[in-house]
Amino acid sequence: MAEDKILVEDLNLWFGDNHVLKDVGFRIPPNAVTAIMGPSGCGKSTLLRTINRMNDLIAGTRVTGRIVIDGKDIFADDTDVIDLRKRVGMVFQKPNPFPRSIYENIAFGPRIHRMGNRSDIAERVKRTLRHANLWDEVKDRLHDNAFSLSGGQQQRLCIARCLSVEPEIVLLDEPASALDPHSTARLEELITQIKQDYTVVIVTHNMQQAARVSDFCAFLMLGEMVEYDRTERIFTKPRDKRTEDFLTGKFG
């Protein structure tokens, strides 16, 4: 495959004594959408959160293996985790805007990473909101509280916030699970749009969504990586029986 953006090798993760990820290995190509799918509780979110080392926040976590981004192992001793999280953005399952204005939500990231002066940041906010297909809806109320937006809008705001610091990789953890079908459709539209400029990894338990939105698909089950390949191939000719059983709905 083309130069991989992310390479996961022999990844094992324990929460205390609980072995959650078992020898996981796969590749994530750049400028494409890779979906991680599988039944609930199989470790998809945990795997995603390992890529930007958010699991570090949970006490008792132990990780072995490598995750290589652009040729550098993120678990190396000299990794700047703060920088990592700037380059690898994340959007969570439930929209979590800050209790501030829409403008302030987007401006926060660029400010703390010192990405320019006040007018630079204002420009950036506008650009980012445009990019997230939210500008027209909020341009007249930038200083309203972010919670005054609808659920779907809040989630797009969170995506915009994530994009505001110019990440290279965007991680989405079941971003549409709290949204209605209309908002979900708009969100998926946005994801397809941004993949030109970013590497997108999305976790979903909805395989139709995976089929709609992704270029590559990785199937995770009970903490093990069963198989990963181009989406059309996985859905039409899965190599592993477990994948086939999952896709045909034998278990969910």
Contact set with another protein (CB under 8 A): 52-54, 56-64, 75-86, 89-90, 92, 94, 96-99, 108-109, 112-113, 145, 147, 158, 161-162, 165
Is the Cβ of residue 14 or residue 235 nearer to another protein in the bound state?
14
Is the Cβ of residue 86 or residue 205 nearer to another protein in the bound state?
86
Residue 93 DSSP code: S
> Closest distance between another protein and the C-beta of residue 78, in Å?
5
Q: Could you tell me which of 98, 95, 59, 52 has the C-alpha nearest to residue 75? A: 52
> How many Å apart are CA 150 and CA 158, to the nearest integer?
12
Is the Cβ of residue 109 or residue 223 nearer to another protein in the bound state?
109
> Closest distance between another protein and the C-beta of residue 36, in Å?
17
Within the chain, residue ranges assigned H as helices are 44-51, 81-87, 102-112, 118-131, 135-138, 151-163, 181-194, 207-213, 231-236, 241-247
Is the Cβ of residue 108 or residue 235 nearer to another protein in the bound state?
108
> How many Å apart are CA 208 and CA 119, to the nearest integer?
42
Residue 77 DSSP code: T
> Closest distance between another protein and the C-beta of residue 100, in Å?
8
> Closest distance between another protein and the C-beta of residue 98, in Å?
6
Is the Cβ of residue 90 or residue 187 nearer to another protein in the bound state?
90
Is the Cβ of residue 28 or residue 221 nearer to another protein in the bound state?
28
With contact defined as beta carbons under 8 Å apart, do 172 and 33 qualify? no
Give the phi and the psi of residue 67 in degrees, each rounded to 5.
-125, 115
> Closest distance between another protein and the C-beta of residue 93, in Å?
10
> Closest distance between another protein and the C-beta of residue 227, in Å?
28
> How many Å apart are CA 96 and CA 178, to the nearest integer?
12
